[in-house]
Amino acid sequence: MDFKQYLKSRKNRVDAFLEKYLSSIDAPSRLLEAMRYSVFAGGKRLRPILAIAAYETCHTKTPCEDAAVVLGAAIEMIHTYSLIHDDLPAMDDDDFRRGSPTNHKVFGDAVAILAGDALLTQAFELLSDDKILRDIDPDRRGKIISEIARSSGSSGMVGGQVADILSEGRSIDRQALEDIHLRKTSALICASVVSGAILAGAAADKVSAMAVYGSRIGLAFQVADDILDVTGTQEELGKSTSDVTRDKKTYPALYGIENARRKAERLAAEAVGALDSFGEQAWGLRTIADYIVERKN
């Protein structure tokens, strides 16, 4: 299958599930409106596609099974929550994301905070729903929930966000920058592929290989994002290019643009190297690694 077609078909499956699922929730209509506003604001669905691609790499018999789509949708809800909160005045104070006004600009701070809280909680409700995720081995399900919780929580994304905020205006070294981004950006990306592999019943060595792939492309994604923040136009990015002006520590600021580009390429190559034992079956994950360093938004 052509790669663009592959991305589109997996994205469509996730979108269709999210549409159906978010229509079925019993919640105040304004809250649901705010949740849906950001979930359907044009995200690339990178994390769900990674979860599905990892599942397909490890489970060769059943491509894009419903359970992998549900897993991807839950991860996307967590990702969306993180973006809503990241844009708030108390954090990055951004007015635009993906070319549209940010959630709090439309719904106000209180509803935006609560829409983020609801998406985070809903993701775990979904992952623990026996009716939706039938036939999943309880042990696998427990491991997946634990992996996703760890990557999103205090030792993962939330911890990285706090470290990032605390580093503003201070000088930090490369190791500290890497630690921030391993937690803030890479952890959830890594959990996407690891949980896809666990869902497929992959052996421990295969899950470990996925973790190496995931952490490398997670960092490569952040380096690419930092480069785009400097070189991309507002039109391409759908937001103002602001991290450097906000005195955030970025890879181009610490390494220079050319070295940052080389670092992203090196990380992507290491990620692809970790997939050797999967053979041809990992073509989707390999192509995504290239796409991550070449992307324009």
Least CB distance from residue 188 to ligand GRG, whole Å? 7
Nearest-angstrom CA–CA distance, 200 and 259: 37
What phi, psi does 101 have (nearest 5°)?
Answer: -55, 145
Least CB distance from residue 86 to ligand GRG, whole Å? 4
Sign of CA dihedral 289, 290, 292, 293: positive
The pair of three-digit structure tokens given for residue 17, joined into one six-digit string: 């599930």
Nearest-angstrom CA–CA distance, 208 and 217: 14
* Cβ-based nearer residue to ligand GRG, 180 or 202: 180
Q: What spatial distance separates the first Cα and last Cα of the chain, rounded to whole Å? A: 24
Least CB distance from residue 216 to ligand GRG, whole Å? 15
Least CB distance from residue 236 to ligand GRG, whole Å? 12
Which residue in the shown chain puts its C-beta closest to ligand GRG? 43
Q: Please tell me whether residue 183 adopts helix, strand or coil conformation.
A: helix
Least CB distance from residue 220 to ligand GRG, whole Å? 11
Nearest-angstrom CA–CA distance, 154 and 141: 21
Least CB distance from residue 11 to ligand GRG, whole Å? 10
Nearest-angstrom CA–CA distance, 69 and 11: 9
* Cβ-based nearer residue to ligand GRG, 74 or 202: 74
* Cβ-based nearer residue to ligand GRG, 185 or 195: 185
Nearest to 244 by CA among 181, 186, 168: 168
Nearest-angstrom CA–CA distance, 296 and 44: 12
Secondary element (H or E) of residue 204: helix 204-231
* Cβ-based nearer residue to ligand GRG, 69 or 157: 157
Beta bridge partners of 31: none
Interface contacts to ligand GRG, rule CB under 6 A: 43-44, 46, 82-83, 85-86, 98, 157-158, 161, 184-185, 222, 225
